[in-house]
Amino acid sequence: MKQSDNIHGGGTRRLVLVVEDNDINRHILCSLLETEFDVIQAKNGEEGFRLLEEHYRELAIILLDLFMPVCDGFDFMRRKRLDKRYDTVPVFVVTTSEELSDEILCLELGANDFVVKPYNFEIMMNRIHNMIKLRESAALVNQLAVDAVTGLHCKEFFGRTVEDVFAANADASFDMVCSDIANFKLLNDRYGERNCDRLLHDLATALKEAMPDCIAAGRTGGDTFAFLIEHRERGWENVLVSAVAKLPYANLDVRFGIVEDVDHSMTASQICYRAMSTIDTVRDLHGNVVAYYDNDTHQRQLMEQAIRENMKTALEEFQFSVFYQPKYDVRAEKTGGAEALVRWFHPTLGSISPGLFISVFERNGFITELDMFVWEEACREVKRCIELGLPVLPISVNASRLDFDVPDLPDRLAELADKHGVDHSLLHVELTETAYTDNPEAVTRTLYRLREMGFSTELDDFGAGYSSLVSLNTLPLDVMKLDMSMVQQATRLNDFRIVESTIRLAQTLGLKTVIEGVETADESERVRAIGCDYIQGYYYSRPLSRDDFEQYLKREQEKHS
Ligand code: C2E
Ligand code: CA
Ligand code: CA
């Protein structure tokens, strides 16, 4: 894995690949070459290419015949040219063709030399040696492509090294650590260039020491470095901060951006770009900071996959549970209901947010099954409250867009309620506006049925961006819930006029109102003054587990008795 493993040491025998279909010719050539080289051989271009793929890092030269069955010499060179990694291996064409056009084509395709059979073996050996020497000294120059100030590799060389490492270790997982000095320009002005060069050198050295197993290290910009390391679990990164702290430069402020498990198809500069963009997100902070780049889409895809793979078992094994978030009744000055919110506690993945899994289930249809479970849990909970002599409050359940495609949704809900002896008026159905816009006729029909059967209907997330006033007018609704973004924005702007006019609108239409996402006393005051009916938010209560909810109801009962 280390770069140095691939550099031909002075005394070692070089590896030569001979690609030639004629058995006798190949045999003669190989025996001659074996006096000085290690030789591997292939009967045609196809086989030769496989050996090239496998050995390109060690190969010193390829001796290539032009005319062969299955992938001839020309094709071989065409394919070789497509992969930059193979550029370092020179090709020596050995052929019987005396056609000038063949020779020209070979050189065009990237052959480095050309010899026509029968050849003078001694002259050919000399030419092979010269070519290898030329290549190796070029490689050596590259190898020495080191930045004089820091001792790290220069940007281009670093990029090529990273590429090579990825190509040779397809299954390995690497992290890229990038560093950036805050306000380096100011330091340059203050301390002068010479001193800053020393600083860069000392920092590079300290960081390399802090990552002794670093596979490649480069100076990617004036004051930015990059280090490729084998993937590590988070938590090690403090060594970077302490390495900087130990340096004798006051106020040296270095930020680190780390891209984990980098995508091998990306170039070093693309990866570094990601790392640097992460550093930008912590620029406002002071001191030395380490930030991880979250490979968002990749991580999300993995998470979604895990969600899909685990959902069925999760439901069977009762990993889902229902939490209840109390709703405060402003006029009665006590809790007037609760919303049932599903939670997923996975034994190894931990707690998974509905924000993650609901959308996945809405895409694969599993949401209807889950919602049915939540509704039944809500019914059970109401029944428990009755049995325990606790205050019996209406519970709102969420209904997803897909639930409205189930033709007998109202009957199913009624069945659940009846099974647990729960009065229909104690169940409210919340539907999001997106559900309506997708399928207005079916939704309207279903809502009418639900109401006929005694369930309350609530429009959720009003004002979240999809709202249409039309829906307010045409849907059979009892309650309108203002999306929490409305309160958040009002607080930010210190202007509750939009909240107020929305409430007035709902009142005009004869709807009760719930304001969601109320987190502070000030927000609560202001929305109460406006005259909404219910308030739901962290200020009153977070969503509570069943046990906590029952405790909460007990306290509520004691307070009001
Ligand atoms: P929602 O229906 O709008 O539910 C309200 C969300 O706001 C809940 O997030 C709740 O925990 C959160 N919340 C409540 N008060 C506050 C507050 O004061 N501040 C802030 N920042 N947040 C507050 P949760 O439980 O993560 O649910 C997210 C969404 O997932 C829900 O949004 C709902 O659309 C969906 N969801 C949750 N449970 C179910 C379910 O059983 N079925 C369906 N179909 N969707 C569900
Ligand atoms: Ca809701
Ligand atoms: Ca909502």
Tell me the ligand closest to 518's alpha carbon: 1
| pLDDT computed for residue 468 by the predictor | 64
Substitution site in 358, 514, 522, 527 for ligand 1 pocket (most atoms within 8 Å of beta carbon): 358
Nearest-atom number in ligand 1 for the CA of 543 is: 11
Cα 501 to ligand 2 centroid, rounded to whole Å: 22
Cα 342 to ligand 2 centroid, rounded to whole Å: 10
Cα 543 to ligand 1 centroid, rounded to whole Å: 9
The separation between CA 38 and the C-alpha centre of its own chain, rounded to angstroms, equals 45
Distance CA 166, CA 168 (A): 5
CATH 3.40.50.1970 fits 15-144, yes or no: no
Residue nearest to atom 25 of ligand 1 (CA): 341
Enter the pTM of the model. Answer: 0.56
pLDDT in tens, 339-359: 999 999 998 888 899 988 998
Cα 398 to ligand 2 centroid, rounded to whole Å: 5
Residue nearest to atom 15 of ligand 1 (CA): 537
| pLDDT computed for residue 5 by the predictor | 36
| pLDDT computed for residue 341 by the predictor | 98
Q: Is 312 helix (H, G, I), strand (E, B) or coil?
A: helix
pLDDT in tens, 446-462: 999 999 999 999 999 89
| pLDDT computed for residue 81 by the predictor | 85
Substitution site in 311, 398, 518, 539 for ligand 1 pocket (most atoms within 8 Å of beta carbon): 398
| pLDDT computed for residue 10 by the predictor | 47
How long a stretch of residues is the chain? 561
Tell me the ligand closest to 342's alpha carbon: 1
Nearest in space to 327 (alpha carbons), one of 520, 514, 484: 514
Provide the 8-state DSSP code for 347: T
| pLDDT computed for residue 209 by the predictor | 95
Residue nearest to atom 23 of ligand 1 (CA): 517
Fold of 155-293: Alpha-Beta Plaits (3.30.70)
Residue nearest to atom 3 of ligand 1 (CA): 461
Provide the 8-state DSSP code for 9: P
| pLDDT computed for residue 182 by the predictor | 83
| pLDDT computed for residue 295 by the predictor | 62
Residue nearest to atom 26 of ligand 1 (CA): 354
Provide the total of helices (H) and of strands (E) in the chain, helices listed first. 21, 19
| pLDDT computed for residue 6 by the predictor | 35
Backbone angles phi, psi at 21, to 5 degrees: -85, -30
Nearest in space to 495 (alpha carbons), one of 518, 528, 523, 457: 523
Nearest-atom number in ligand 1 for the CA of 516 is: 15
| pLDDT computed for residue 138 by the predictor | 64
Tell me the ligand closest to 352's alpha carbon: 1
Q: What is the architecture, at CATH level 2, of domain 303-559? A: Alpha-Beta Barrel (3.20)
Tell me the ligand closest to 327's alpha carbon: 1
**Interhelix angle for 193-210 vs 184-191, to 10°?**
130
| pLDDT computed for residue 486 by the predictor | 92
Lining ligand 1 with CB less than 6 A are 325, 341-342, 353-355, 358, 367, 371, 374, 398, 400, 460-461, 484, 517-519, 536-538, 543
Domain boundaries, the chain: 15-144, 155-293, 303-559
Give the pLDDT of the chain (561 residues) as one tens digit per residue: 333 333 333 457 899 999 999 888 889 889 989 999 999 999 999 999 999 999 998 999 999 998 888 888 999 999 998 887 888 899 999 887 766 677 777 777 878 787 877 777 888 888 888 888 877 766 665 555 788 889 999 888 899 999 999 999 989 999 999 999 987 877 877 778 888 899 999 999 999 999 998 999 999 888 999 999 999 999 899 999 999 999 998 778 899 999 999 999 888 988 888 788 777 666 555 555 888 887 654 566 678 888 999 999 999 999 999 999 999 999 999 999 999 999 999 988 888 999 889 988 988 899 999 999 999 999 999 999 999 999 999 999 999 988 988 889 999 999 999 999 999 999 999 998 777 776 788 899 999 999 999 999 999 989 876 556 667 778 899 999 999 999 999 999 999 999 999 999 999 999 999 999 999 999 999 999 999 999 999 999 999 999 999 999 999 999 888
User: 331-352: buried (b, 16+ CB within 10 Å) or exposed (e) per residue?
Assistant: eeeebbbbbbbbebebeeeeeb
| pLDDT computed for residue 38 by the predictor | 95
| pLDDT computed for residue 7 by the predictor | 35
Tell me the ligand closest to 458's alpha carbon: 2
Cα 339 to ligand 1 centroid, rounded to whole Å: 9
Nearest-atom number in ligand 1 for the CA of 400 is: 44
Backbone angles phi, psi at 523, to 5 degrees: -60, -40
| pLDDT computed for residue 520 by the predictor | 97
| pLDDT computed for residue 287 by the predictor | 59
Nearest in space to 14 (alpha carbons), one of 55, 65, 66, 73: 55
Cβ atoms of 371 and 400 closer than 8 Å: yes
Residue nearest to atom 11 of ligand 1 (CA): 543
